[in-house]
Amino acid sequence: MRFPLRLSPIRLLLFSTTLLIQMISAFPTIGLPLLRHQVPMSYTHIGLLFSVGALASMVLEPLVNVLSDLTSSKKYWVIGAMFVLVGAFLMAGLAHSFTVLLISFALLYPAHDIAEGVVQTALVDDNPHKSTRTLTRLAYFGNSGDFLAPVTVAIRLCVAFVTLFHHFPKVADHEQREQKSRVLAGLRLVQHNPILFCWVVMAIFPIFLDEVFRSFAGLYLQDMLHMSDDQVEVLLSIETGAGFAGLLLTEILLWLRVPKHWMLLYSAIIVFFSMLSLLFTHQLWAMVVELCLTGACSIAWFPLARAQVYDRLPGYSGAGRALLSLGAPVNVILPSVVGFIAGAYGIVAGVGFLMLAPIGIFVLVVSGLAREHRPQVVQEVLSETLSATQSSV
């Protein structure tokens, strides 16, 4: 079995950058029980912490993504975001008040999302016809970062300096006026394509089972099952580590040309019953199995859904990322909603609320909206939208 893989220096650097971004950004999630010892917080406070960070990202990231399409290189967007990420992470680590934590998360979230997003679009620009495989491998590196989170922050500075000496993939040159109209055409395309809109909506659901799930699952294990900090960290690391198996299986299924909607359907079913069992099981071996199934199956949603958005906007990766940012309001309110539910009705109800993710994936797939459609058809719509936009300008 042979999987074609391009390992040019710039692609290796960009994949490694994603690895390091996740190594730092995942630490507040995995170390949340320890952070709660440093700064006492309720479930509501914890939810607010993540919501403030997501709100800052919602405001800044779409703007940066659109602007990145208007520049010849995305290098300095990545470098600047990484320096801000380092400072925000150090601030959070030294914080002894909730206010300082809020400020650090308000910096950390947009810096993380901007760096990760621009790296993602740069990789798509470099190989636009292999976006699904690119995002699957990108998810592998990102999951590796989550797994290896407790490492030194200083590596980030080294990567920022190394990046200075590399050339980023460049989008084809256009006149400035043409650039703006083409980006606007990409953003307007969603109005004429319900299939594209479906994939944008589906790309929201992985948010439910990322940092928010790990944070509140860790609190569930600690508060309801009275596990120690070390036990919680081990179990969450196992859940993250299971993502490697899930991504490898996804890569194999893509190579075997298994339809993406079937992969999404069956993974949603497995995740739903795994999460349900987790809330009613107190045996350690069973919890390990349930967390592994949840981590291994849900991680495939990220590349499968997002790659379809990029495939339907060929040459407009920044606009595609901006469309994916339409889910940012969910990212903002979700932690606060889960924190409120956990505070009012218990941590079991809070974690149970996140089961809406596999339900949403299942409903969208069964509805038939996520079936395979030719991206070439979307290219025709894009051309028509572009012509209309340029004539109006």
What letter does residue 6 receive in the DSSP assignment? -
Question: Residue 127's pLDDT is what?
Answer: 74
Q: Average the pLDDT over 282-311 and give the result.
A: 89
Question: Residue 353's pLDDT is what?
Answer: 95
Taking the CA atoms of 297, 298, 303 and 308 in sequence, report the sign of the dihedral they define.
Answer: positive
| 112 against 183, higher pLDDT | 112
355 vs 357: CA distance, rounded Å: 5
Let me know: does 23 contact 149? Beta carbons within 8 Å.
yes
Note the pTM of the prediction, 2 decimals.
0.65
| 127 against 110, higher pLDDT | 110
* Cα distance from N-terminal residue to C-terminal residue, the chain: 51
Mean pLDDT rounded to a whole number for the chain: 77
Question: Residue 177's pLDDT is what?
Answer: 44
207 vs 205: CA distance, rounded Å: 5
Helices (H) and strands (E) in the chain, counts: 20, 0
Q: Average the pLDDT over 175-195 and give the result.
A: 55
CATH code: domain 9-392 is 1.20.1250.20
> For the segment 330-384, what is each residue's pLDDT rounded down to a tens digit?
878 888 899 999 989 999 999 999 999 999 999 988 886 545 444 444 455 445 5
